[in-house]
Amino acid sequence: MKRKRVEKEEAAEKKMEIVWQTPANPPEKHDYIFRDGRRHVRPYHFEFISHVKNRWAGKTIVDLFAEEFKGRPYDYYVSAVKCGRIQVDGEMVPVSYIVKSSQKISHFVHRHEPPVMAWDVPILDKEDDVVTVWKPATVPVHPCGQYRKNTVVGVLQAEHGLAPLFPVHRLDRLVSGLLILARNATRADLFRQEIEAGKVQKQYVAKVFGVFPEDEQIVDVNVNYNAREGRSTVEIRVHLQYTGHPIANDILYLSENVTNRSSEGLNADRAAHSPNNCLVPENNSSDKYEDSTEEDFDIDPMCTNCPNLVPKGYDGHEEGLWLHCVQYSGSGWVYQCPYPDWAVLT
């Protein structure tokens, strides 16, 4: 029975004429599907490459994957090895193969990326060596984890042909606002030197629980010191919680007295759906997504996510935080981003 299944999968794979992508393949416009207010990535075939770590050596190829990559069942890895979806040094191996340190392992998968909110990535300023954009909430800045094409860098490359890009500061995935990207490594290094030297001023706006004091509040707790790099970092979300005024839809840092209210509608999932709390930027042309039609994608017979468009484990209700980066300024330069709708008083 198992042999017939493997033969069927092999035949289906040949019929599909699979083209395997790697990180060298740039995102393109047709990679995206807009559906129900979300930007999806059309599932694609991708080669994940890793090298055998010392602690992996001596294990069978199947046991290695089953123990280290628990997202798929054991039987999947057996089938993947038998049909060549998992290879060692570019060659098919038996399921009993013992891996050795530093060997190259390729895992060919049908990759499903999590969706993000279906918002544009508006370009604010475009210079010879710098581009600044309005980063939408829920979109990661650069490839990480399950995200590769559904990132700010990916969208800018697909829709504007901007590459390479070097993000010079960090914005959490659920945070929106100003994002500065250098267009060459030299300019990126200059920005980072200023930031690490403490010469850059940052300004954020947040919608918090309660009435925030009008006077300046100084908080010096929860500072993370990196001894190796010799610098400290802070979490604005943690600091707001410490003041007793956490971000109003930030479940992670809401205090106990707020949590009960959040379950009634103040969390990131529910609050953004309120007609009084529109999170779509004013300069964002999101209307174009309302009439988008469903598009098909190729089903992979070995994929553990198909026929669903989204990967397993995604609940589909994620929204952005009420935290927005407004301005960065340094020695002789300043970049700004407009306020989001939820921060504009009416």
Of 204, 194, 141, 165, the closest CA to residue 333 belongs to 194
User: With 0-12 CB in 10 A as exposed, 13-18 as middle and 19+ as buried, what is 204?
Assistant: middle
CB atoms within 10 A of CB 275: 5
Please give the structure tokens belonging to residue 29: 């416009």
CB atoms within 10 A of CB 50: 13
CA atoms within 13 A on the CB side of 325: 26
Active site (annotated) includes residue 298? no
Task: Select which of 172, 269, 298, 341 is catalytic.
Answer: 172
Q: Give, in degrees to the nearest 5, the angle at Cα 273 between 282 and 139.
A: 60
* Alpha helices (H) in 130-249, listed in sequence order: 152-160, 185-196, 236-242
Residues that are catalytic:
172
